[in-house]
Amino acid sequence: MMRRRVDRLGRIALQAAYTCQGDAPPRPMVFASRYGDMGRSVELLEQLAEASPLSPTSFSLSVHNAIGALYSIARGDLTAQSAVAAGAETVEAAFVEACGLLSEGAPEVLVVVYDEPRPAPFAHFPEQVSLPHAWACSLRPAGDGATYRLTCGASTGAPERAPGDTLPEELSVLRFLVSGDARFEHHTGSRLWRWHRDS
């Protein structure tokens, strides 16, 4: 009965979470979305502007942690969760948060990343999301197999993109993680995030 309350963004995020977690036992989760379920906030603002009563359902689901909360309710899962938004650095912020949880002793952390294009009247602002997307991955403390490092420093300006590279920027970290590449540099304003894969 809960599915009917969830819009497209929530559905793709939850699908990613369910697929990644499978039957594995509960573990701490980080839900990360740059813009979140902005459509709900727009709907509520429109209702406010018309001085009409606000939809209780939209109100209850307009907070940034609502999608994670639904996951938790649907699974009866009381494990810790956080909801992260950090502009163009949202994925990095989610991984930093996950590393914090790992260093506090969590054996594994599930990171769920999801976004969709901002609705009108916010669609025309820069750094629009190109397409609805959601992905999830499970992080464990370094052990056997490939390990990753993430460092942050000052950016001296983003390099030109390789010609013919049409992948939306918001998917660039995912591409790095699945590519097997040794490194990836993500310039976000004045900061440079360096992703390393040590095989």
**CA-to-CA distance for 19 and 63, rounded, in angstroms?**
24
Of 22, 53, 76, 164, the residue at the interface with other proteins (CB under 8 A) is: 53
Q: Is 180 in the site for other proteins (CB under 8 A)?
A: no
Task: List, edge to edge, every strand of the sheet that includes 29-32.
Answer: 81-84, 29-32, 109-115, 133-139
Q: Is 65 in the site for other proteins (CB under 8 A)?
A: no
199: Cα within 13 Å, side-chain hemisphere: 6
Of 8, 19, 48, 60, the residue at the interface with other proteins (CB under 8 A) is: 60
Residues 114-133 interacting with other proteins (rule: CB under 8 A) = none
Q: Is 183 in the site for other proteins (CB under 8 A)?
A: no
Q: Which stretch binds other proteins (CB under 8 A): 48-56, 104-112, 128-136, 159-167?
A: 48-56
Neighbours of 118 (CB within 10 A): 19
> What burial class does residue 157 get, using C-beta atoms within 10 Å of its C-beta: 0-12 exposed, 13-18 middle, 19+ buried?
exposed
Q: Is 76 in the site for other proteins (CB under 8 A)?
A: no
**C-beta of 63 vs 88, nearer to other proteins:** 63
Q: Which stretch binds other proteins (CB under 8 A): 8-16, 49-57, 93-101, 163-171?
A: 49-57
Return all residues near 8 (Cβ < 8 A) that are at least 6 apart: 116, 132
**CA-to-CA distance for 119 and 53, rounded, in angstroms?**
21
Residue ranges in contact with other proteins by CB under 8 A: 1, 4-5, 52-53, 55-57, 60
